[in-house]
Amino acid sequence: MLDNINDPSDLKKLSNDQLPQLCQEIRAFFIEKILKNGGHFSANLGVVELTVVLHYIFNFKIDRLVWDVGHQAYIHKLLTGRKKEFERIRKLGGIAGFPKIDESEYDHFGTGHSSTSISAILGMAEAAMLDNKPHKHIAVIGDGSLTGGMAFEALNNLGASNANVLVIINDNQIGIDPNSGAINHHLNTINEKINFFKTLGLAYEGPIDGHDMNSLIHSLEKSRDVKTPQILHIRTIKGKGYLPAEKAQTDWHSVSYVKIDPSKSNTDNPKPSKFQDVFGHTLLELAEKDQRIVGITPAMPSGSSMKILMDAMPNRVFDVGIAEQHAVTFSAGLAAAGKRPFCSIYSSFAQRAYDQIIHDVALQNIPVVFCIDRAGLVGADGPTHHGSFDISYLNAIPNLTIVSPMDEHELRNAMYWAADFTGGPVVIRYPRGLGSKTNYKNEIQPLEVGTSRILQQGDKIGIISIGEIGTEVQKAIKDLNNTIHHIDARFIKPIDENEITNTLRSFDRIITVEESCLIGGFGQQIKNIAQDQNYTGEITSLGLPDQFIEQGTRVELRAKYKLDEKGIRRCIHAIMHKK
Amino acid sequence: MLDNINDPSDLKKLSNDQLPQLCQEIRAFFIEKILKNGGHFSANLGVVELTVVLHYIFNFKIDRLVWDVGHQAYIHKLLTGRKKEFERIRKLGGIAGFPKIDESEYDHFGTGHSSTSISAILGMAEAAMLDNKPHKHIAVIGDGSLTGGMAFEALNNLGASNANVLVIINDNQIGIDPNSGAINHHLNTINEKINFFKTLGLAYEGPIDGHDMNSLIHSLEKSRDVKTPQILHIRTIKGKGYLPAEKAQTDWHSVSYVKIDPSKSNTDNPKPSKFQDVFGHTLLELAEKDQRIVGITPAMPSGSSMKILMDAMPNRVFDVGIAEQHAVTFSAGLAAAGKRPFCSIYSSFAQRAYDQIIHDVALQNIPVVFCIDRAGLVGADGPTHHGSFDISYLNAIPNLTIVSPMDEHELRNAMYWAADFTGGPVVIRYPRGLGSKTNYKNEIQPLEVGTSRILQQGDKIGIISIGEIGTEVQKAIKDLNNTIHHIDARFIKPIDENEITNTLRSFDRIITVEESCLIGGFGQQIKNIAQDQNYTGEITSLGLPDQFIEQGTRVELRAKYKLDEKGIRRCIHAIMHKK
């Protein structure tokens, strides 16, 4: 049956009672493709029936549909002409793992970050009202995403409007990790009388079983005729139809196609740890020694490895929900009361808390330690998730000290140092994925603020790198017979002006390397110092260009943007041969 | 009686029935001081009784108190030993108009932006729980601030915690302009059964009359013994006790000491308009011609002058509440549906929507026009409100076009251009306050993207300025006999590389001028271009240093940071006499 569905219009030719079989075929297809190719898994299995019925009842050439945190939109992609593209989903050049406005006329709004869907759909619906257009506007949002304040801002606005909006609450009680906020608890016992949505003036229907085809058809047909704001609350099971995923929902949130490559699993060599795990284990070590230390995560205990501390000392970790703004100011409150909070946020999600970092932490010079995870390229999640901008947006903030450790040992040194640092708030930024050391546990070396490290002496070209990309520099220069002088800047702020000045004096050709956008980035700071010192040599800055970076593996993307060993070596050769 | 209150401990010596008279004395003192010296007015008159009773019942040497958007904290300051400082409130070197952590042991958390108080107090309360300390933690938050999503994130977290937190909802149904969201409506009819807070697992008491001393004492004494989260809903009248303010609440939100200076009011000369009004009138002009144009404001219709369009075409303007995140993505939704939204947000509040500007607008290249108001120094509101960072944090975002008009005519040109621009999202940034033209209505000149203007030809020094600060440059150079070449860069992104290259070639001494932080700012972009071109001359960048800028008038602060006519002229002289 699925073979004949190439557009939602094909779906409409089926009778009601054919839909369950279609769902079965969809699940079989989806499970096979994603187990093979990798991608977000369980959330999509939870919305198979919903997606089928939505496309069965509505016409999304005219009606509008926004999927919150779009990783639940794979089935939607599958039904809207992109079945064949599933071989290359989330891969370089392939379809995205999230809805993408320029990928299909059925993707009405791109969503990678959480809690944006109601705002976007309400905007579209108000536009339609102004134009006297009667079509339906639907947002599908998980209960986890409801914890993001932005969703509330939109509900508050929606409840006072007359827009033709249906918000479907996809309640499965789990984000990546289990949800724990008051709104999630409320959804378990919600009824017609004690009802969050009704207090906001919103018509409410539910809860209904989101896997029951007839209930879904009945409810959505009814809501098609409603022209004002409405909530439909459905209950679904994340991972539905694939037992391992139903049982271990966090593990199966997404699957990696690397994970099931058998060639990688039976090596005996000690492997480097993930930066995340080094963060988690080190935080536990610190917390064991220092009662002041607490951990804060906005719904990312597993992804950030905050879970290591959480499992050992549950009362010392706060999972505040998908709520980066609150996470930061809550951390500021903890610090103002004498705690030493380590607040872990992904680089691209920290954009959500920019004002709080400025206004609640930096302005008051409160000692929060921000652990900015996923700094730099993240891989398959693509442009919504790359940590491309944090150096630029954080460097402008007064009172921050920003350090970007090159490897696991440096991360540990930075965390130990930050735990006792008395000079104000600290940012420690590190990338997604594996480090370069076989044993992450080092003897802790004290860090001195604003100091760099000379990793190799050389006499022809100076390279100044920041962060983990420095390991690519090391690989690139190791056979170049000490012609290259390599400095790991380590601190972005305050930058090591002395050593940079030395380097400017010693070399008339300098390369800066960062895995971050060039505008406002690290290399620009070096160029500024150079300009101020009337440096007459040449500075080449490697980094991310002024564009959103596509999806792809980190290896592919580093290669494309000349940030890998080979790219750096080519850059060196080009500069060498210029003179 | 007030004369004897120098610390909250003095207050505790009074009997219950003396408190109303104290409130009367406080109002008299407050009204006199603020009418004379300027400052936030009506919100404070609304919390006189609340503030007195809070300090009467609790001991804020041990208990903790956070005032949301701290402009309601003047009475608190008055009762905590800062009565005498009211002569210099909000002035350079004087006490702040907001709570300030280093100003008093009674200011437990700085608050200038809205909706942060519950997060901060919950952090403090969780810290106290870990330390087994039983003291009370209180946040006072207006119903307007509840529309900010961050407050919801905190309530969601609070409802699932056991922290000793009392949240007092100060419900007066008005922010600066009247509140209009669903939560504000709900507070009018809230009861024990249909109750927003109870759905979030929070104990609720109220509503009580916030001007009734006995009710307040009774409720707060009761809540002193509660050790878990609790909401107390009080109703107050903004401006209470000063009739003109009770009647015209928006006008009396704050009073300016300039406003009542008689020497300024009877001049016959035509005066320049505020940038805000030029924005408002121009938007109305555009909206009259173009059905696509709509306006979006996050609760700032008066402050931004969006009210001009709102009054003329109420259905074309959306006041979404204090909800910058939603405002941006809602605008993106409007634009995705064919509208041309002009979304006006103050520079320092746009920090709240940084992720949405990146993820929902720029990444999708959706044509939202952001009108970033209050860019640069704002004056008496001080460090929480200065628009110091927007050039740095916006410039890093791909796909944005950023223009910073120097005067009202340029603002109009930019708005006309942006209304029809098809190259993606646009940022137009302009400052608070008066422009420099006597008649803002000009004949519209078409703008070309990425082009600067040569304002004066000269032969000794090149000055490149961005934004309104260029008018100070004009004043500074007007008697210097064409020795100075002055360029108004106009576009930050894309920058006019051609003209900048010409300038670099023509002058070995260049000055850049911006009213924005230097790190990642405009001057740094010029220096980068210079370094890339092996420029051997000297570039001096004027702008804001890497520190939070204090309160003071714009004139005072520009003088202090050498950004006024005199400072610029001195800089020119210093450079002239160097050679």
**SS3 per-residue string spanning A142-180:** ECCHHHCHHHHHHHHHHCCCCCCEEEEEEECCECCCECC
pLDDT averaged over every residue in chain B:
95
8 Å CB contact of A156 and B183? yes
What pLDDT shows up at residue B178?
83
Q: Does the CB of B203 have a partner CB in chain A at under 8 Å?
A: no
Residue B163 domain flag: yes
Q: What is the DSSP string of B489-536?
A: --EEES--HHHHHHHHHH-SEEEEEEEEESTTSHHHHHHHHHHHTT--
With a threshold of 0.95, does the pTM exceed it?
A: yes
Q: Is A35 part of the contact surface with chain B (CB cutoff 8 Å)?
A: no
Q: How far apart are CA B234 and CA A443, in angstroms?
A: 57
The reported pLDDT for the residue numbered A246 is: 93
Q: Give the C-alpha separation, B124 to B126, whole Å.
A: 6
B156 at A interface, C-beta within 8 A: yes
Judged against a pLDDT cut of 70, whether residue A44 lies above it is answered with yes
Closest approach of A359 to chain B, Cα-based (Å): 6
Looking at per-residue pLDDT, the higher value among B551 and B258 belongs to B551
H or E element in which residue B418 lies: helix B408-420
User: Residue A53: is its pLDDT beyond 60?
Assistant: yes
Distance, CA of B360 to CA of A114 (rounded, Å): 11
Q: Calculate the alpha carbon distances from B200 to A147, A315, A322, A361, B425 in Å.
A: 11, 22, 16, 27, 38
Using one digit for the tens of pLDDT, what is the confidence trace for A173-189? 887 888 889 999 999 99
Written in H, E and C, the secondary structure of A68-115 is: CCHHHCHHHHHHCCCCHHHHHCCCCCCCCCCCCCCCCCCCCCCCCCCC
Residues A47, A52, A54, A55: what is their CA dihedral angle, to the nearest 10 degrees?
Answer: 140
Region B350-372: mean pLDDT is 98
Q: What pLDDT score was predicted for residue B409?
A: 98
- Mark out the alpha helices in A357-398 (DSSP H runs): 390-395
By residue range, what is the domain housing residue A192? 2-255
A84 contact partners, CB below 8 Å, separation of at least 6: none
Judge whether A531 and B541 are in contact, CB under 8 Å: no
Is B269 a member of any domain? no
Q: A368 and A493, same structural domain? A: no
The reply to whether B241 and B291 lie within a common domain is no
Among A285, A324, A468, A472, the one annotated catalytic: A324
Chain B's closest residue to A323, CA to CA, is B153
Instruction: Please identify, among B255, B285, B320, the residue that sits at the C-terminal boundary of a domain.
Output: B255
Better pLDDT: A255 or A549: A549
Q: Per DSSP, which regions of B101-243 are E strands? A: 137-142, 165-171, 203-209, 230-235
Cβ contact, residue pair B185, A160, below 8 Å: yes
Between CA B304 and CA B297 the distance in angstroms is 8
Task: Decide the pairing of beta strands B509-517 and B254-255.
Answer: unpaired
> Of A414, A429, A444, at which residue does a domain stop?
A429
Candidate from B193, B202, B335 with C-beta closest to A193: B193
Is A408 in the same domain as A464? no
Q: How do strand A509-517 and strand B64-67 relate by DSSP bridges?
A: unpaired
Q: What is the pLDDT of residues B489-500, one digit of tens each?
A: 999 999 999 999
Question: For A332, which of B123, B156, B354 is closest by C-beta distance?
Answer: B123
Q: How far is it, in rounded angstroms, from Cα B47 to Cα B51?
A: 6
Structure confidence at residue B51 (pLDDT): 98
The answer to whether residue A185 neighbours chain B at the CB level (below 8 Å) is: yes
- What are the tens digits of pLDDT across the range B241-271? 999 999 988 888 888 765 444 455 455 667 8
Band of residue B578 on the pLDDT scale cut at 50, 70, 90 = confident
Cα distance from B431 to chain A (closest Cα, Å)?
19
Q: What is the spatial distance between Cα B526 and Cα B532, in angstroms, rounded to a whole number?
A: 10
Do A30 and A154 belong together in one domain? yes
Say whether both A49 and A191 belong to one domain. yes
How far apart are alpha carbons A290 and B381 in whole angstroms?
39
Contact between chains at B153 and A320 (C-beta distance less than 8 A): yes
The average pLDDT across B24-46 equals 95
Among B201, B355, B356, beta carbon nearest to A186 = B201
Instruction: Enumerate residues 372 to 411 of chain A having a beta carbon within 8 A of any beta carbon in chain B.
Output: 383-384, 389, 392-393, 395-399
Contacts of B371 (CB under 8 A, 6+ apart): B279, B304, B342, B343, B344, B345, B415, B428, B430
CB contact under 8 A, B186 and A201: yes
Catalytic residue chosen out of the listed positions B352, B412, B432, B558? B352
Kindly state whether residues A419 and A464 are assigned to the same domain: no
| Among A101-115, A123-137, A265-279, the least confident range | A265-279
Structure confidence by residue, pLDDT tens digits, A266-320: 556 678 999 999 999 999 999 999 999 999 999 999 999 999 999 999 999 999 9
Mark whether A352 is an active-site residue: yes
Q: To probe the interface with B, which of A152, A324, A401 has the most B CB atoms within 10 Å?
A: A152
Q: Do A201 and B182 touch (CB under 8 A)?
A: yes
Cα–Cα distance measured from residue A512 to residue A487, given in angstroms and rounded to the nearest whole number: 10
CA dihedral A474, A479, A482, A483 (to 10 degrees): -100
Closest by CA position to B553, among listed B185, B193, B88: B88
Separation CA B452–CA B486 (nearest Å): 10
Mean pLDDT of B447-474: 97
pLDDT for B262: 47
pLDDT in tens, B159-204: 999 999 999 999 998 878 888 899 999 999 999 999 999 999 999 9
Interface test with B, best of A202, A329, A392 (most B CBs within 10 A): A329
What is the residue-averaged pLDDT of chain A?
A: 95
Question: Is residue B409 in some structural domain?
Answer: yes
CA distance A170 to A143: 6
Question: How far apart, in Å, are the Cα atoms of B436 and each of A263, B305, B406?
Answer: 71, 18, 9
Angle between helices B149-158 and B117-130 (to 10 degrees): 30
- Do B109 and A198 lie within an 8 Å CB cutoff? no
Whether B318 contacts chain A with CB within 8 A:
yes
Phi, psi dihedrals of residue B392, rounded to the nearest 5°: -65, -45
CATH of the domain at B413: 3.40.50.970
Quick one: pLDDT at residue A261? 46
- Sequence length of chain B is 579
> Which CATH number is A487's domain given?
3.40.50.920
- A38 pLDDT more than 60: yes
pLDDT higher than 60, residue A259? no
Smallest CA-to-CA distance from B540 within B499, B515, B508 is with B508
pLDDT given at position A262? 47
User: Which candidate from A120, A326, A352 shows the least CB-CB separation from B355?
Assistant: A352
* Phi, psi dihedral angles at B432 (to 5 degrees): -75, 140
Query: For B516, phi and psi rounded to 5 degrees?
Result: -165, 165
- The residue of chain A nearest to residue B147, with distances taken between CA atoms, is A153
Within a domain: B145: yes
* CB-CB contact of A159 with A182 (8 Å): no
Q: Evaluate whether residue A435 is within a structural domain.
A: no
Least confident of A417-426, B66-75, B223-232, B249-258: B249-258
Chain B interface includes A201 (CB < 8 A): yes
- Beta-carbon separation of A153 and B323 below 8 A: yes
Q: How many CA atoms lie within 13 A of A42 on its CB side?
A: 24
Read off the pLDDT of residues A77-93 as tens digits, 9 standing for 90 and up: 999 999 999 999 999 99
Cα A239 to Cα B124: distance, rounded to the nearest angstrom: 38
Cβ–Cβ gap B351/A331 under 8 Å: no
How many residues are recorded in chain A?
A: 579
Q: Measure in Å the smallest separation between the Cα of B347 and chain A Cα atoms.
A: 11
Q: How many domains does chain B have?
A: 3
Q: Are B243 and B325 found together in one domain?
A: no
pLDDT of residue B250: 85
Do B43 and B238 contact (CB within 8 A), yes or no? yes
The greatest distance separating any two alpha carbons of chain A, rounded to the nearest whole angstrom, comes to 79
Note if A264 is an active site residue.
Answer: no
**In this structure, is residue A42 part of a structural domain?**
yes
How is B341-376 classified by DSSP, letter by letter? EEEEEEHHHHGGGHHHIIIIIITTT---EEEEES-B
The predicted complex's ipTM stands at 0.97
- The verdict on A464 and A424 lying in the same domain is no
Cα distances (Å, whole numbers) of residue A318 to A296, A315, B65: 5, 8, 22
Which residues in chain B are closer than 8 Å to A328, comparing Cβ atoms? Answer: 119
Determine what percent of chain B is predicted with pLDDT higher than 70: 98
What confidence category does residue A578 fall into, taking pLDDT thresholds of 50, 70 and 90? Answer: confident
> Average of pLDDT values for B48-55?
98
Residue A370 domain-assigned (yes or no): yes
Q: What is the DSSP string of A328-340?
A: HHHHHHHHHTT-E
Quick one: B193 and B302 in the same domain?
Answer: no
* Alpha-carbon distance B3 to nearest alpha carbon in chain A (angstroms): 32
pLDDT band at B293 (very low <50, low <70, confident <90, very high): very high
> What CA–CA distance (Å, rounded) separates B339 from A125?
11
- Give the span between the Cα atoms of A557 and A37, in whole angstroms: 18
Do A516 and A380 fall into the same domain?
Answer: no
For B453-483, the DSSP string reads EEEE--SSEEEEE-STTHHHHHHHHTTSTT-
Active-site pick, B100, B238, B240, B432: B238
Q: Which helix (H) or strand (E) holds A28?
A: helix A19-37
pLDDT-derived band at A488 (thresholds 50, 70, 90) equals very high
Q: Does B67 touch chain A (CB under 8 A)?
A: no
Annotation marks residue A289 as catalytic: no
Q: What is the mean pLDDT of residues A233-253?
A: 92
| Rounded distance between C-alpha atoms, residue A329 and residue A333, angstroms | 6
Strands B165-171 and B230-235, sheet pairing? parallel
Which of A373, A396, A429 lies at the terminal end of a domain, its last residue? A429
User: Is residue B540 within 8 Å of residue B563, measured between CB atoms?
Assistant: no
Q: Residue A268's pLDDT is what?
A: 61
In a shared domain, residues B336 and B392? yes
Q: Rounded to an integer, what is the distance from CA A206 to the centroid of its chain?
A: 31
Q: CA distances (Å), B451 to each of B265, B490, B515, B576, in order?
A: 39, 7, 20, 28
pLDDT digits (tens, 9 = 90+) for A502-530: 999 999 999 999 999 999 999 999 999 99
Residue B514 lies in a domain: yes
3-state DSSP call for residue B191? coil
Nearest CA to B206 among B228, B190, B229, B224?
B190
Q: Picking from A403-407, A489-493, B1-5, B487-491, which range would have the lowest pLDDT averaged per residue?
A: B1-5
Q: Tell whether A310 and A228 lie within a shared domain.
A: no
Hey, are the CB atoms on A156 and B339 less than 8 Å from each other? no
In the predicted structure, residue A260 carries a pLDDT above the cut 50: no
Asked if A260 contacts A310 with a C-beta cutoff of 8 angstroms, the reply is no
Give B568's contacts (C-beta < 8 A, 6+ positions apart).
Answer: B463, B472, B473, B476, B477, B511, B513, B542, B562
A428/B306 Cα distance (integer angstroms):
41
